[in-house]
Structure 1
Amino acid sequence: MNMNKRLVAALVGAVAAPLIVVAGPAAIASAHGYVNSPASRQAQCAAGTVSCGDIKYEPQSVEGPKGLRSCNGGVARFAELNDNSKGWRAAPVGKSVTFNWTFTARHRTTNYEYYVGNTKVGDFSGNNQVPPATVKHTVNLGNRSGHVTVLAIWNIADTSNAFYSCIDLQVG
Structure 2
Amino acid sequence: MKRSHRRLAAAAAGVGIAPFVAVIPATSALAHGYVSAPMSRQAQCAKGIVQCGAIKYEPQSVEGPKGLRSCSGGNAGFRELDDDSKGWQVTNVGQSVTFTWTFTARHSTRNYEYYVGGRKVADISGNNKQPPATLSHNVNLGGVSGRQKILAIWNIADTANAFYACIDVNVQ
Same fold (TM over 0.5): yes
After superposition, residues 132-171 of structure 1 pair within 5 angstroms as 132-171=132-171
Contact 1:38 1:167 in 2 (8 A): yes
User: 5+ residue gaps in structure 2?
Assistant: 1-27
Task: Give the direction of change, closer, same or farther, for the CA distance of 1:30–1:48 in structure 2 (3 Å limit).
Answer: closer
* Structure 2 equivalent of residue 6 of structure 1: none
CA positional deviation for 1:142: 2.0
Query: TM-score, normalised on structure 2?
Result: 0.82
Where in structure 1 do 4 or more consecutive aligned residues deviate above 4 Å?
28-31
Contact 1:31 1:107 in 2 (8 A): no
CA positional deviation for 1:143: 1.5
Q: Could you report, residue by residue, the CA deviation over 1:51-98 in whole angstroms, capped at 9, with x for unpaired residues?
A: 111000000000000000000000001000000000001100001100
User: 5+ residue gaps in structure 1?
Assistant: 1-27
1:50 paired with 2:50, answer yes
> Secondary structure of the equivalent of 2:78?
helix
Contact 2:43 2:59 in 1 (8 A): yes
CA positional deviation for 1:117: 2.1
Q: Could you report, residue by residue, the CA deviation over 1:105-158 in whole angstroms, capped at 9, with x for unpaired residues?
A: 111000000001221011110000011000100110122111000000000001
CA positional deviation for 1:159: 0.5
1:37 paired with 2:41, answer no
Count of aligned residue pairs for this structure pair: 145
Percent identity over paired residues: 70
> Secondary structure of the equivalent of 2:46?
helix
Query: TM-score, normalised on structure 1?
Result: 0.82
Contact 2:32 2:103 in 1 (8 A): yes
RMSD: 1.4
1:69 paired with 2:59, answer no
* Structure 2 equivalent of residue 111 of structure 1: 111
CA positional deviation for 1:101: 0.0
